[in-house]
Amino acid sequence: MAEWTPFSFIVTQLARFIRPNEITFSGVNSTLPMLACLLAKHAYDFDFTYINVAGGVNPTPSKIPISSSDPVLAEQSASIFANEDFYDLCTRGRMDLTFLGAAQIDGEGCANNSVIGDWHNPKVRLPGGGGGAVMLPTAKRACTWRTEHSRRTLVEKLDFCTSWGGFHGVVTPIAVFVKRDGRLALQSWHPESSLEEVRERTAFTFDAQGATAAEAPTAREREALLALDPQSQFERDAAVKLR
């Protein structure tokens, strides 16, 4: 695995959103956030509570599963959580960070997971909001990721607003956005990309004040991800491209 591939960029940048002593959640179809949470457990010198959609709370899985919903992610857990427990944590203001997927994201960080095209005659019918419709507005912070950075995914106007509230972080193969003054602002870009490329490939306008090329992964981050994906199977399956 190369040092700073688009895949390792996304996983590492997602992990860097995790803070000490917080409660962090990764959901369904969230393999890259799952890897990010497990990476953080090995690469960072602080404790945090990792809860996953399989029900695990600070699990010690015997293997790294392909599916982020695999029951192996509940092995050796301190306790087992059900779906209503995740939502309860969020609505009580106890969920610090949640990783949720999105098909489209706009400049305010709102998400579309419902349809591409007109609601009554869509080009693509998507799975819908699921738990994200509860967790995105109520978690203290929410982050998402896209393996494609393009104007069809980072849009000026959503085809349908599934979840309001807005993501606090968005990671793509070439960029990291954070919420600032109610809108997504550019924090950093992949060192092989540029501010100009990020602007060209993003449909919404954004503030780039203070944005710089991202800091390279540390030795511990590289080692942790290599231990999680020694044969690069996750990287091949994700098929993330820089351009």
Q: Is 60 exposed, middle or buried (0-12, 13-18, 19+ CB in 10 A)?
A: exposed
Report domain extents, the chain. Answer: 6-238
Residue-level pLDDT at 134: 85
Residue-level pLDDT at 102: 92
Residue-level pLDDT at 92: 94
Distance CA 118, CA 115 (A): 7
Residue-level pLDDT at 73: 92
Which helix (H) or strand (E) element contains residue 189? strand 183-189
Residue-level pLDDT at 44: 98
**Type of residue at 1:** M
Residue-level pLDDT at 128: 83
Computed from CA positions of residues 122, 127, 132, 136, in that sequence, does the dihedral angle turn out positive or negative? negative
List the chain pLDDT tens, one digit each, 243 residues: 446 899 999 999 999 999 999 999 998 888 999 999 999 999 999 999 999 999 999 999 999 988 888 999 999 998 898 888 989 999 999 999 999 999 999 999 999 999 999 999 999 999 887 788 888 889 999 999 999 999 999 999 999 999 887 899 999 999 999 999 999 999 999 999 999 999 999 999 999 999 999 999 999 999 999 999 999 999 999 999 888
The conformation of residue 154, written as its DSSP 8-state character, comes to B
3-state SS class at 180? strand
3-state SS class at 12? helix
Q: Is 34 exposed, middle or buried (0-12, 13-18, 19+ CB in 10 A)?
A: buried
Distance CA 116, CA 121 (A): 9
Residue-level pLDDT at 1: 41
Beta bridge partners of 207: 185
Distance CA 15, CA 8 (A): 10
Distance CA 22, CA 135 (A): 16
Q: Report whether 57 contacts 77 (CB < 8 A).
A: yes
Residue 21 backbone class (left: φ over 0; alpha: ψ -120 to 50; beta: rest)? left
149-187 burial, b at 16+ Cβ within 10 Å, e below that, comes to beeebbbeebbbbbbebbbbbbbbbbbbbbbeeebbbbb
* pTM, full prediction: 0.94
- Domain 6-238 sits in CATH 3.30.930.10: no
